[in-house]
Amino acid sequence: MPFVREWLVERYAAPVLDELADPSGIEVAVVGGGAPAGVAEMDALPDLRAIVNFGVGYDNVDVAEASRRGIVVSNTPDVLTDAVADLAVFLVVDVLRGLTAADRFVRSGAWGRGERFPLTRDVRGAVVGILGLGRIGTAAAERLESFGAEVHYHSRNLKDVAWTYHASAVELAAASDVLVVLTPGGAGTEGLVDAAVLDALGPDGYLVNVARGSVVDEDALVAALEEGRLAGAGLDVFADEPHVPDALLARDDVVLLPHVGSATRQTREGMGRVVLDNVDAFLQRGELITRVDG
């Protein structure tokens, strides 16, 4: 974010990597916007000791390689939990009630011509499956309960909650009217929501993804929608951002957002403060306040 760069330049005269004539002496790298921090970037900064990531997800950072080199990594948890959970819930409401589709219906003049918008589905009473019950998943589940939804979940570990647990993503999808993807990205979850999960969700089911595009097999999702094996989807993330498949752009049963889960001024400023706090803590004390375990 521009204001984070401004803060870093103000406080530390921080250069941009591409403009760096001499990489020696650079101990901390700040990365954001999904920019990669892998072998090539680490090779380019021989004195690197810490990577500070702007974002709660850090699948853009090769944490294992960083750990091998003795480089510590941080992210920005907690400050974006509410914003992302809110968006997840809004997408659930939208796919069930067809709010943005109804907006397009009015703008097209269809209502004025006497056409009727089709009936939609209540959120109350719907079974919403949360795939990944971490901080954000828990916050989304709590919000959905207030709408009267029945919450089920699958996570790597059984949680001490009252919601119904399922042993796999397929089992969770089979029990759900809406499946909300809130897992981390990275190799461990790549393609987790595949054709089998989508088929288990079924022709009356909806998929909502506010995690990472890599978690969902996008080709399988497009095929399920085109073949009527899925009722619709709400997507804030995609496999090859900012590119969205043409097949999704043309569909009225899909809500498409430009990866804005945490995109509020307050949340992004909060994330920026965590970044700056991590940089300060590392340069002053040699530690990170929100360190990621490798």
Note whether 214 and 59 are within 8 A (CB).
yes
**Annotated catalytic residue 226:** no
Q: Which of 226, 241, 269, 287 is catalytic?
A: 241
Instruction: Determine which one of 49, 229, 259, 291 is catalytic.
Output: 259
Which amino acid is located at 292 in the chain?
A: V
> Would you state the structure tokens that stand for residue 217, as one six-digit string?
């097999």
Contact 131, 183 (CB under 8 A): yes
Alpha carbons 86 and 188: distance in angstroms, whole number: 25
Whether 241 is catalytic is yes
Q: Which of 41, 212, 218, 268 is catalytic?
A: 212
Mind telling me the catalytic residues? 212, 241, 259
